[in-house]
Structures are given as C-alpha cells and as structure tokens.
A and B are shown apart, each in its own frame.
Chain A
Amino acid sequence: MPISRVAAHGHEPRPGGIDVNNSSSFPRRNFLAASGIVTGLLAAGGPLSLIAPSRAWSVELHRLTSAQGATLLSVARTIAPHDGLEDAAYALVVKAADAAVAADEHARTTILSGLEHLGGDFASRPEAARIEALKAVESTEFFRMLRSMTLGNLYSSAIAYAHFGYEGEAFTKGGYLTRGFDDLDWLPDVPLQDSGPNPGRAPR
C-alpha cells in the first residue's frame, strides 16, 4: 500500500509510490523485475509507524542497482539533511532518479557518471567528507540535477508533510478561519484599523 494513501488525512499529496509491506507479501511478485531495491524500517513510534500496516518499507528500482540507490539516498540526505526524517522520505528521491534514468538518456549518463565519480563508498563516509565530495562537484550538471530532484521530491510526500508539521490543503476542513489562522499568542493582536473584523468570531 502506498504510504501516501495511508498517511494522507483527507488529501492526496503527490503519489508516493513507496510500498509499506505486509510481511506476508514481502517481497512482492514484481520484485523480480527490479534491478535494485532500497528498503528500511520506519522508526518505532513515529507518526507513520502508527498508521502504516507494517514498519517495513521498500522502493523497487528498475534501472539502478541497490548500491547506486544507497549512494543516491545518501547524496539526497547530504543535500537536504534532516536528522529526524525517515529514510523512506529520501527513498522517494531515489525513485525519481531511477525513473529519470529510465526515461531520459541524458539523465542516465549524467547520473551514472556522477555516481561513478563519487565512488561506491560515498554513503559510508562521515558527513563532512560527503559534503566535501559534493562541494567538489557543485558546479556540475550531476549535482544540479540531484539537488533539483531532492528538493522537488523530498518535501511533497505525506511523510514530509507529517514530519514538518505542514497541514496541506484545508478547503475540505473549512480553511483555517475557525481553526487557528490567528492563534499566535506570543505577539499582541493587530489593531482593527490595520486589519479587519474576523468573520470566524462571533461579534461581541
């Protein structure tokens, strides 16, 4: 079941495409068609583990190997580091890179040659060394492509919404007019002449 399905509260962030597996169906049948896989366990007690049917998750890769997937995941985490954010969120970046490699020859050569340049031990290096390695390729198309894929895919999933506390669409809940658009209490209210009456509050 895609994580986006189980974690979405009345809205549909971009389809996630991560499979949270029931143990009985893991590995899934089409696993054989994949060339690589990125897997992990959701943190116990995290927001997703409470609603997902299982803590185990996997992303199947069709063009990239498991090792390349692991390197890409580490590149994404170095570009946009969030210590408390599950690997499952970063795996969406890997999935997007895999799709780009499958769809576009230019993306394929750019990503594969960039990965080769970084080396197979990239993911196992300490963060300072990873940053140094990426700084050295900062002006290359490989880095720009990976930065753009990371930023474009990391923050649009239900996992990211939950992690960063973003509430997403509010139309189906009546907006925030009566649900906290003005609940900030660490500054005084704004005088009426510089704002306007709040139609969500009963007149006094």
Chain B
Amino acid sequence: MVQIAHDDSNAVVIIGSGAGGGTLAHELTRRGIKVVLLEAGARQSLASFSQNPGEAFVQLTWLDPRTTSGSSSVSQDYPGLPSWTAKTLGGTTVHWTGATPRIQPWEVRARTTYGDVAGTSLIDWPIEYAELERYYELAERRLVVTRRHGNPGLPASNHFKVMYHGARRIGYKRVHTGHLAINSQPADGRGLCIQQGFCVQGCKTAAKWSTLYTEIPRAEATGNLDLRLQSHATRIEHGADGRVNAVVYRDAGGQEQRQKARLVCVACNSVETARLLLLSESARFPNGLANSSDQVGRNYCRHTAGFVWGVFEKPIRFWRGTTLAGIIEDETRHDPARGFAGGYHLELAALDLPSLPLAGFPATLWGRELGFLMDHYDRMAGMLVNGEDMPRATNRITLSASVKDRLGIPVANIHVDEHPNDAAMRAHAQRQGAAVYQAVGALRTATSRQTPATHNMCTARMSRNPRDGVTDAHGRAHDVPNLFVSDGSALSTPGSANPTLTIVALALRQAEHIAAGMSRRDM
C-alpha cells in the first residue's frame, strides 16, 4: 500500500468505503490515480464477522448518536436509531441483503410522471435512462447479479415457496427469487451461497458482494491506495478560489489530521454526507459547503418501508436460507388508480430470533398478541415493503443544536413528516402482502410501522437546475468544481429500488468522468 503525504496536494480523497466510495476507490486507483480513502470504521473480515446477532449489530453499525424529529412513527419507535447504517470498512455493503433491482425508466422522470404532487419537491433526474442503463449493466456484471447476464437465480427456500404460491394465487405474475448480488454459483473468486441466513451480520462465505473483499483489496493491489481506517472526517476545507483543498479528520488515535487534496469525493451515506457538508461551513459557504441552493440535507428519502408477517400452521423456519431471496415486482408501476403515486416492491424478509421483536413489530405491541406471534416463530413468513417515498424540502438532515458526538461535533438530526402518499402506499402494500399470506392459509397476519432507514437518499441530489439540488449529472457539486458526492445522497429521487446497484452504477460512471477530467488536466 502506498503512503501519501499529508501535504501531497495531488491526492484524490474519498471519504467512505461503501458501495459508492469503495467502488470509486477501485475505479480510480486501477486507472493509476493516487487515492486516500478515509473510513470511520474498523476492518472486519470473513473470520471476524460475529454470528451472534446482537454482537454483529454492534460490530458493524454506526452507533454514534443521531437525533430525530417530525411526525413519522420512526421518531417514536426508534428515537435512538432512526437510520440503520454501517460504520465499518465496506460500509453498508457489509450488512446489506444484496438486493439489486434497477430504478425504472419512469421513476427517473418522477416529476414528469407523477405531476405536481402537493407538498413534494419532486424533480426529474438530469440523466437519460438509456445512459443509466449502460452503467446498470456494467454494475450487474461487476456484482454478479442473479438472473442477469446469464447468471442463474438462487434456488427457492421454504420461505420463498410461501411467498411464491400466495402471490401467484392472488394473481401476481412477476414473482421470483430476486436479482441479488449473491452468488448462486462460485464466481469472481467468491463462493456460492450456502443458504445460511445471516446476510446482515456479514457474509462469512463472501457469496454476497461487498467492497470489503472485492473493490477495496483490488484497489490496494494497484499500489495506488492509501487506506486510513478509523479515520473520521470532520470538515472539508477550500481555498480562496472556492475549490476544496483539504480534508480534516480524526485518526485512529483521536489526533486531528489534515490531508491535502486535489479533489474530494464524499460517500459517507446520506445522513453523514449531508452532516459533513453542513459542518464544512465557511465565510464563502455560510450555510454549509456546496450549499448556495440551501438544498444540502433537504429532500431526504428513506423508502416507504414496513414488514408484513404471516403466521401459519406448519413449519417454515424462515431463518434458513438467503434473507431476501424473493421478490414480487407487479406493484412496481405508476398506477394512480391505487390511490398513490409511484410503486413498490414486496421483498422476502426474515429476521433472526433476537431481532424480530425489536425491529419487526410496532413499539406498541406487547402482551398475548406479541406472545402469540413469537410462539409461532418457526411458522412465520415475512416480507418487507420497499416503495418510492415522496421527497419534501422540509424532510431534512440538520445539525443538532444540543447533541454532540464523542469528538464534540454536532450530530445529525433527521426530520421526517411522512407525506400522505407514503402512508397510502404502505397501507396498500401491507394489505396486498397480507392477502398473499391469506391465500396460502395464514392463521393470522401482522404488520410493523416504518422501520429504521437502511436506505438513506437524496440529501445532495443531482439536478439539472442548480437551484433544485446540490450536484450535477455526474455528482459534481454545482458550487464547487472539484467536490463530488459519490453515494446515495446524489440520487435525484429514490425510485422503488434498493439503492446499492444504482449507487455502484453512478460510481462507475463518475469514475470515468473524473479520470477523463484529470487526464485533460481540468480537474
């Protein structure tokens, strides 16, 4: 591994090593570009991943405090964990479930498709779908996505059998084991899925793609990567010319360091990306770096989510098998007759025994109803709604006025007032999910409210008009020519797809753009 001097102003600094930052680091270093990669978390490995759910959660999760406000049920149910993201090398690609659906063509024209929905800040993406599609194909090949490009699907688990037959009986046609970045056969030097469950605790066979054991070691092997672990960026600085020129961070020993930079890419996951830009205010950018539009942190999206549980008479043992290997795609369409704009996926979802009561049920549930559900743990089936939520200017990340982290830095506050469209979609989706289970004989069904956000998006969104967003069609800040956003913050709207594939596709595209710009010497 190369060591880049702190005063070397020729380095590209990438902050965050997940789907966006980790992929970008590989793509730039393999083109001969020197990169400093700052990662706030530590490095785990296949051997060190804990298989105790509680321990694994602590091992991988971003546990620095955050505060929350707004009328969303998440503020009441999960005040301590409104967003569930990772703090570890590889970021959320370590704990993700591997789901890689694509955003749909009409979804990137959200404002045009859905019209002027009151109380939203919808925009169209500044990218044509055909352009995005090209990078989706590259990303799917990179991640070895099932049921794409000749890769076989994953086999059907007990749990999927229940979803499949219920869905078919109520007339759904597009039901399969999903597009997942999980090997159905050995590929890319990684093993096949042994159906062990435990996807979110870190995949011990590496069947599930993660930058931790693909992009990052490959970037290290180029000799162009200086990876700095447990290095928490606190501020991005700029010069008199308005270009960013350094990143200030605390190193593993708690010492403040300053790394000079020719170009900075922020990929800290949407909540922390917005926080870092807001923390980097200056005389020139009094409301936060790259924030002359006042859009940094606004339009926060997290997907309309919620569980549906079915309780059956006979055993299912839903913990056996790939956690999310099943999907119903029929509701992924825009059909205002359903009473809301946009669409949703219904995705298979199992939870381990300790996590089910904490994450799967409303915080108001206790007593015999809770007892009944848990008593049927081995006879339960579950699915998770993943739907497009409506951006609102007032749903936003701000800096807390009162709460600071252990470094003494204001934490992020997440404010969400759920749009009525989201509530209508969740209600529809949970009714449909319950109907799926009733069609195969469920004794009872149950639902959760909105779950802690694992998908955090749009807080530095790409926009054609600089007034509507933070970044341009390549994720470059409208205000700062050598500052890029390289994670889900840059999505213009959330669509109904789990975001990782889109983040990787945009990172591949951004890497080409940056490398070309650097070789032309205009970056």
B-binding residues in A (CB < 8 A): 11-14, 78-82, 131, 134, 144, 147-148, 151-152, 154-156, 160-161, 164-172, 174-177, 179-184, 186-190, 193-200
Contact = CB atoms under 8 A, between A and B. Distances in A.
Contact of A171 (B205, B357, B366): B205
Query: 9 tightest A-B contacts by CB?
Result: A175-B194, A196-B153, A169-B51, A175-B196, A184-B158, A190-B156, A195-B156, A176-B320, A156-B354
B194 A174 contact: yes
Contacts of A196: 146-147, 152-156, 177, 184
Interface in B177-220: 177, 184-185, 192-198, 204-205
Question: Which secondary structure dominates chain B's binding surface?
Answer: loop
Nearest to B204: A171
Contacts of A188: 161, 165
A134 B370 CA distance: 15
28 contacts: A11-B52, A78-B367, A79-B367, A81-B368, A81-B370, A82-B375, A148-B358, A151-B358, A161-B353, A165-B377, A169-B196, A171-B51, A171-B196, A171-B198, A172-B51, A175-B196, A176-B194, A177-B193, A177-B196, A180-B320, A181-B321, A186-B314, A187-B165, A189-B161, A190-B165, A196-B147, A196-B184, A197-B184
A197 B161 contact: no
Contact of A82 (B198, B320, B374): B374
A181 B53 CA distance: 20
A154 B377 CA distance: 14
B443 to A, nearest CB: 13
Contact of A189 (B156, B175, B370): B156
B386 to A, nearest CB: 19
A80 B356 CA distance: 13
A93 B319 CA distance: 24
Question: Which secondary structure dominates chain A's binding surface?
Answer: loop
A14 B58 CA distance: 12
B51 A177 contact: no
A174 B205 CA distance: 10
Nearest to A144: B363
A152 B358 contact: yes
A170 to B, nearest CB: 4
B413 interface: no
Query: In this complex, which of A134, A144, A181, A187 has the most chain B Cβ atoms within 10 angstroms of its Cβ?
Result: A181
A14 B357 contact: no
Contacts of A131: 367
B248 interface: no
Given A80-B370, A180-B158, A188-B165, 15 more contacts: A82-B375, A134-B366, A154-B357, A155-B374, A165-B377, A166-B319, A166-B352, A170-B320, A171-B194, A172-B51, A184-B162, A184-B315, A195-B156, A196-B154, A196-B184
Contacts of A189: 156, 161
Interface in B297-354: 314-317, 319-321, 352-354
A194 B204 contact: no
Contacts of B437: none
Given A80-B370, A199-B184, A170 B356 contact: no
B186 to A, nearest CB: 9
B125 interface: no
B42 interface: no
Nearest to A161: B353
A155 B354 contact: yes
A81 B365 CA distance: 12
Interface in B364-421: 366-368, 370-371, 374-375, 377-378
A188 B319 CA distance: 20
A165 B378 contact: yes
Nearest to A151: B357
A187 B204 CA distance: 31
Nearest to A185: B314
A81 B320 contact: no
B157 interface: yes
A168 B194 contact: no
Interface in B123-169: 146-147, 152-158, 160-162, 164-165
Contacts of B194: 170-171, 174-177
Contacts of A79: 366-367, 370
B392 to A, nearest CB: 29
A132 to B, nearest CB: 11
Nearest to A15: B52
Nearest to B79: A144
A167 B357 contact: no
B292 to A, nearest CB: 43
Interface string B78-104: 000000000000000000000000000
Given A151-B358, A177-B195, A195 B377 contact: no
A130 B247 CA distance: 57
B371 A147 contact: no
B322 to A, nearest CB: 8
Nearest to A197: B152
A80 B195 contact: no
Contacts of B367: 78-79, 81, 131
Query: In this complex, which of B177, B353, B368 has the most chain A Cβ atoms within 10 angstroms of its Cβ?
Result: B353
A152 B355 CA distance: 8
Contacts of B316: 184
Query: In this complex, which of B147, B320, B368 has the most chain A Cβ atoms within 10 angstroms of its Cβ?
Result: B320
Interface in B95-115: none
A182 B157 contact: yes
Contacts of A181: 155, 157-158, 195, 320-321
B326 to A, nearest CB: 9
Nearest to B53: A156
Nearest to B368: A81
Contact of B51 (A11, A147, A161): A11
Contacts of A197: 152, 155, 184
B176 interface: yes
Given A80-B371, A177-B195, A180-B317, A166 B353 contact: yes
Contacts of A190: 156, 160-161, 164-165, 177
Contacts of A167: 317, 319-320
Contacts of B205: 171, 175
B177 A194 contact: yes
B55 interface: yes
B381 to A, nearest CB: 10
A72 to B, nearest CB: 15
A169 B198 CA distance: 7
A203 to B, nearest CB: 13
Query: In this complex, which of B176, B193, B194, B319 has the most chain A Cβ atoms within 10 angstroms of its Cβ?
Result: B194
